[in-house]
Chains A and B, each alone.
Chain A
Amino acid sequence: MRGKRMGKVPIKSRSYSLWLMILPLYLFTLLLVAGPLIYMVILSFLTRADGWGIVNKFTFDNYINIFDPVYLNTFVESFRLAILCTVLIILIGYPFGYFMATLSPVWKKRMMMLLMIPFWTSSLIRLYGWIIIFRANGTLDQILMGLRLRDTPLKLLYTYPAVVVGMVYALVQFMILSVYSSAEKLDWSLLEAARDLGASSLQAFFTISLKLTLPGLLSGVILTFIPSMGLFFIADILGGNKVVLVGSLIQDQLMKAHNWPFAAALSVVLMLLTTIVIFLYKRITHTTEIEGVG
């Protein structure tokens, strides 16, 4: 007993220095994450002063305001765009991630590298590439007109489809990576067994592969759906002023209308929607970690 205790620092001073290690995270989280978020909720119940600033008067008006058809419509539009993008991302990204998992180990590594470069490339650079493609007489128009599919430029820049392409392009890698990480763990012999027992390829895919890669698919949905509600700069740059998302609305209320309490209320609602999506995800998959993030 005595011999064993000899070298040890008393428990109290030991936990003291350990507390010092986690203290910065506690302080930072409290002051710079929890604090701002709580302030956002408080702000959403305050009244806007004439012109600049805020008056400390409690009100529900900011929330009632959201039900104004103009703003409500923005939420609906944002949701529609997010759903459309997510569906397209599933259709494009799922097969990509799934096929990637069937590659040989060497090619898996190469493919991963190929995916990582665009992923790490500034989102603005990639966005700029799409401007070159979409602008009037840009790459797309030149190809279409060169192939004599069209006589006049398509002028896709500043249209809804351009925004959709930009969003899908910006987010599809999250889907690919999370489907891949799920499909990689797949036991392919199960598929062969199913085929041997007479299932068609499609049957085998839907009964086995799809089921087992569902967690990856769902976490991909989370990783794409949530950001697509807020990526206002893509809508801004590729859509001109034609596509207004909740994100753009919040920015306008903050920067142009200077109605901070309303911007806060919009953010609270967006945050709640996000939380509901994450909650549903956890409910469906019974997990706490989102695959492909860590």
Chain B
Amino acid sequence: MRRYRKAAYLYLAVMTMILYLPIVLVVVYSFNESKISSVWGGFSLKWYEILFRDKAMFEALKNSIVLALSASILAAVIGTLAAVGFTKIIPRSKGIVEYVSMLPIMIPEIILGMVFMAYFAMLGLRFGMLTLVLAHTAFCIPYNYMTVKARLVGMDKSLGEAARDLGASEVRVFFDITLPLLVPAILSGMLLSFAMSFDDVIISLFVTGVNINTLPIKIYTQMKTGVTPEINALCTLILGATIMLVFISTRLNRFHAKAQPENGERSGENDD
């Protein structure tokens, strides 16, 4: 075992470097003066300048944020309510509904996109933000439902029962006790949904309208037609935002897990 240890570490290091290579290149070339990536023409911020003047890009960014926010909030409401409800009543249909509602993250995205496009067309819905939000909510619900459900498993039920015995209504128990305890789980589920929605290309391509672009769709079409380093600049900015989100999310998770024994010694720094 020991003999292989060094080789194992080397393998991990090399693979991690390869994992980061494409990302690092995107960032490096975003500061490239030359228009041709791969030829270094000196340091420059001109692609960022061009990016900031690109109105269509900002429009796409705005759409993506509105879409990701709406879908993750809607999914959080539906997913959380259901996860909590299912702890108290277990209808015979629970298994099947749970299974079907998880399908959007189990089946290939291309099918989901195709299915939504055909279905919305059949219903006569106008393709645009509404169809985007509905489709994105469908694949965001599972993330929220799963994180909240996982949190509920470890939760102390006696608090809610005590409140009920003291006469609190189901609604009050939910808002005063269950919900506050679930906040970290709901937030991390929302963060995951937001990221998934913000990054989605395939499903959006199918359900978007003619006049509406999301950021990934815009990047995708530009990548197919011919790329300018403006995309590098944009990608670098998104990457920065992503790293910040990951940081926030690990903070949340730590907060989330603070009651767990293995993090017990750290709980002090998170107490408010």
Interface residues of A (CB under 8 A from B): 7-9, 14-15, 17-19, 21-22, 24-26, 28-29, 32-37, 39-40, 43, 92, 95-96, 99-100, 102-103, 111, 113-118, 120-133, 135, 137-139, 142, 169, 191-192, 195, 201, 226-227, 229-233, 236-237, 246-247, 250-251, 254, 260, 263-264, 267, 270-271, 274, 278, 293-294
Interface residues of B (CB under 8 A from A): 1, 3-5, 8-9, 11-12, 15-16, 19-26, 29, 37-39, 77-79, 81-82, 84-86, 88-89, 91, 93, 97, 100-101, 103-104, 106-111, 114-119, 122, 134, 137-138, 141, 145-146, 150, 164-167, 169-171, 174, 195, 198-199, 201-202, 205-206, 216, 219-220, 223-224, 227, 231-232, 235, 238-239, 242-243, 245-246, 250
Q: Contact: A271 with B21, CB < 8 Å?
A: no
Cβ of A35 to closest chain B Cβ, rounded Å = 6
Nearest 9 CB-CB pairings of A with B:
A129-B22, A230-B108, A21-B85, A25-B82, A36-B119, A230-B110, A22-B85, A99-B8, A7-B167
**Which residues from B are CB-within-8-Å of A233?**
201-202, 220
**Which residues from A are CB-within-8-Å of B37?**
131-132, 135, 138
A26-B97, A128-B232 given; name 7 further pairs at CB < 8 Å: A96-B15, A99-B9, A124-B220, A128-B22, A130-B22, A191-B1, A230-B202
Q: Contact: A43 with B118, CB < 8 Å?
A: yes
Residue from B81, B103, B171, B198 in contact with A25 in the complex, judged by beta carbons closer than 8 Å: B81
Most chain A CB atoms below 10 A, which of B19, B89, B145: B19
Cβ of A104 to closest chain B Cβ, rounded Å = 11
Q: Contact: B239 with A24, CB < 8 Å?
A: no
Q: Contact: B104 with A33, CB < 8 Å?
A: yes
Beyond A100-B12, A125-B239, A232-B202, whether A274 also contacts B108 by CB under 8 A is yes
Q: Contact: B146 with A294, CB < 8 Å?
A: yes
